[in-house]
Structure 1
Amino acid sequence: MNAQRPTSRGGRRPRIVIAADCLNRLEALAERAIERDPDLADRLLGEIGRARIVPAAKLPSNVVAIGRAVTYRDETTGRETTVTPVFPEEADIACGRISILTPIGVALIGLAEGASLHWDTRDGKRRVLTVLRVVRDEVSEELRA
């Protein structure tokens, strides 16, 4: 199982921010996921628990959120990947839309540009992923509703 621990440059976990309009739905998804993937559900609930919750209109444009494309870099390989976190029913990996109920979806939600997270791969290697860009797309913002 992949595990991740977001960290800032000083070794602490970076702050995360979540829009209030998504909070109830995220909590409900985590509660429903407890039976089939308790580790992932616990991670999502933990991230929600430590998040600063703000009104949707106050969510900074540089923060990863449902419906916002994010580009991150694997610091080991230099590879950049762009994905858009979405609710599970809108997920389509071929289109780059990843479910918030995936390890990378949980890890990225609420992080700001410049934040890094440690990622343990399935083969036991530690990687550092850094959020490079968050793109607020008015069309994808509709996915949050």
Structure 2
Amino acid sequence: MSDRPNIFVLEHDFDRLSAMLEKQPHGNETAEALSLELDRATLVDVEKLPSGTVTMNSLVHFKNEGNDEEHTLRLVYPTRREAGEKCVSVLAPAGAALLGLRVGDRIDWPLAGKKPLSLKIIHVTHAN
């Protein structure tokens, strides 16, 4: 995990995510990996967030380098789903991997028993 790019997380996202993770069952690999990511994150307020950073509720355009497919998904909390909008939960492997990355960053996210998920951030749009 030491070759992962630096990540930036909004302080209010960190607080909400930390509270959510405390309620997750032990053994949830994605939740445990997300917790490790939060531990290494640089916490910032909105004014100091580097441009192009993936935050909760961001619309993220990224490439799965494992199959060359591009996706545009909104990063959401597990309980939030918008009708007609493509979303990815922060508790899904891809969602946990995207949090805090910036445009141009890439990450190899381990998947149990499978080859890592290789993602590259192309564009980020923040929710209003």
TM-score, normalising length: structure 2: 0.85
Q: Which amino acid aligns with 1:75?
A: E
Q: How far apart, in 1, do the equivalents of 2:28 and 2:117 lie?
A: 23
Determine the structure 2 residue equivalent to 1:114. Answer: 104
Deviates most, 21-30 or 70-79: 70-79
**Which of 31, 38, 63 is the aligned partner of 2:22?**
31
Match of 1:141 in 2: none
Q: In the alignment, does 2:28 pair up with 1:13? A: no
Match of 1:86 in 2: 76
Answer yes or no: is 1:62 the counterpart of 2:52: yes
After the TM superposition, which of the residue ranges 50-59 and 70-79 deviates more from structure 2? Answer: 70-79
1:73 paired residue among 44, 63, 71 = 63
When the two chains are superposed, the root-mean-square deviation of aligned CA atoms in Å is 2.3
Aligned residues: 128
3-state SS in 1 of match to 2:6: coil
Q: Percent identity?
A: 29
* Unpaired stretches in structure 2, ≥5 consecutive residues: none
Output the CA distance in 1 between the equivalents of 2:110 and 2:41.
22
**Unmatched 5+ residue regions in structure 1?**
139-145
When normalised by structure 1's length, the TM-score is 0.76
**Aligned amino acid, residue 71 of structure 2:** T
Structure having the larger proportion of residues in helix: 1
User: Aligned in 2, Cα 1:39/1:85: closer, same or farther, shift over 3 Å?
Assistant: same
Native 8 Å contact 1:64 1:108 kept in 2: yes
What is the CA distance between 1:119 and its match in structure 2?
4.2
Moved over 3 A (4+): 119-123
State the alpha-carbon separation in 2 of the partners of residues 13 and 19 from structure 1: 19
Contact 1:34 1:42 in 2 (8 A): no
The answer to whether the 8 A contact 2:59-2:125 is kept is yes
Q: CA deviation at 1:15?
A: 0.3
Per-residue CA deviation, residues 108-135 of structure 1 (Å, 9 max, x unaligned), is 1001111111245677344522111111
Assess, with a 3 A threshold, how the Cα gap between structure 1 residues 46 and 120 changes in structure 2: closer, same or farther.
Answer: closer
- 1-structure distance, mates of 2:117, 2:76: 24
